[in-house]
A = this chain, B = another copy of it.
Amino acid sequence: MANYTQRIKLLKTKLQRDGLDALLISKRENIIYLTGLDIESSSIIITSGRKDIIITDARFAEEASEKKGHFEIALTNGSRYKIINRLLKKRRIKKLGFESNWLVYNNFLHLVKELRRITLVPKKYLVEDLRMVKDTDEISLLKRSVSILNKAFSRAKKRIAPGMTGADMAIYLDNLMRRFGAGGPAFETIVAQNPQSSRPHAKATAAPFRRGSAILMDMGACYERYNSDLTRLLFLGRIPTKFKYVYNIIKTAQKKAIEAIRPGTRISELDKMARNYITRKGFGRYFLHSLGHGVGLEIHESPSISRKNSERLKPGMVFTVEPGIYIKGWGGLRIEDMVLVTEDGYEVLTDAIPK
């Protein structure tokens, strides 16, 4: 059982620091993070001092009622904004933050219209910033998610053979993940053979595997809503020289970036470390994306591991490191691991899974 009280307490501290009376939260993953409830079309209001509120509808009344001790439950039957206004007035809330990276334009207009006497303050990634640093509950769930993925991939790769298709392989792997305890795959499993693999987001296709080809598998498990993410390359038969050459470049690039991981390092440095190496080797223009992304309740979340992110690493951050080289007409190679920032360095969560 996750420590929701602690998470909410941290958020309340942030609200006080920012001079907000409350924050309106409607993003599903943020609600799950703070309450454990997976409720659609709902919102919660976390206040800086007063009792917090869940606003949902009759479909989720039973789930929400389990939270009665900690939250006031308000059931809507139509527009939530009138009800939100009433609840906020009752609590004398004057300054309300809202998720400016999530609330759509129309709903912002509803807020403006209904909450006439309340100051609305756009707040970007306030809960996401908390979620960026994983607590111990989350780290165990992520490790469990990785261990399911590991078991499934180890089993699945033994089955790979010429004639099998990417789609077959994806189904086989997804079933193994579920058999080993995952709710399902974290995203649509990618099993791409060269040359199709030159598209970083190629899907699993019905083309049978050929001897001598390179197969890229990008896969993840979802365990209790926590995702894992991993890319491995498999070669059928002898590895052609050019694959081996390019493979070693991305492997070294990945190693350089991972070895730079420790609290305090600028995130942009990691991307530069890998990208500069790949560029020196002459493949810079084929590295088509940033180095990685955070992983947690969302498969892509903060921090973004890109050249533009000047934030510094903190213990508890979990993200992917995934350099890749994609050449149209030839194919794409990528290696991806999930790394946890520790107090004095890093732990590669997917290390048990051989490259």
Partner-B contacts on A (CB < 8 A): 40, 57-63, 78, 98, 100-106, 108-109, 122, 124, 171, 175, 178, 183-184, 188, 198-201, 288-289, 308, 328
**Chain B residues in 8 Å Cβ range of A175:** 171, 175
Q: Do B188 and A184 touch (CB < 8 A)?
A: yes
A112 CB → nearest B CB, Å: 11
Given the known interface contacts A62-B328, A175-B175, the answer about A104 and B106 at a Cβ–Cβ threshold of 8 Å is: no
- How many copies of this kind of chain does the complex include? 2
Cα of A234 to Cα of B103 in the assembled complex, Å: 40
**Chain B residues in 8 Å Cβ range of A109:** 100
**Chain B residues in 8 Å Cβ range of A60:** 199, 201
Closest to A105 in B: B100
Closest 9 CB pairs of A and B: A58-B288, A100-B105, A59-B200, A100-B106, A62-B199, A105-B108, A103-B105, A101-B106, A59-B289
A104 interface neighbour in B103, B198, B288, Cβ under 8 Å: B103
**Chain B residues in 8 Å Cβ range of A101:** 104-106
Q: Do B63 and A199 touch (CB < 8 A)?
A: yes
A201 interface neighbour in B59, B106, B183, B188, Cβ under 8 Å: B59
Q: Do A102 and B104 touch (CB < 8 A)?
A: yes
**Chain B residues in 8 Å Cβ range of A104:** 100-105
**Chain B residues in 8 Å Cβ range of A122:** 105-106
Cα of A124 to Cα of B107 in the assembled complex, Å: 11
A123 CB → nearest B CB, Å: 10
Given the known interface contacts A100-B105, A101-B106, A104-B100, the answer about A289 and B58 at a Cβ–Cβ threshold of 8 Å is: yes
Cα of A44 to Cα of B242 in the assembled complex, Å: 37
Closest to A285 in B: B58
Cα of A193 to Cα of B54 in the assembled complex, Å: 27
**Chain B residues in 8 Å Cβ range of A199:** 59-60, 62-63
Closest to A58 in B: B288
A307 CB → nearest B CB, Å: 9
A301 CB → nearest B CB, Å: 14
**Chain B residues in 8 Å Cβ range of A200:** 59
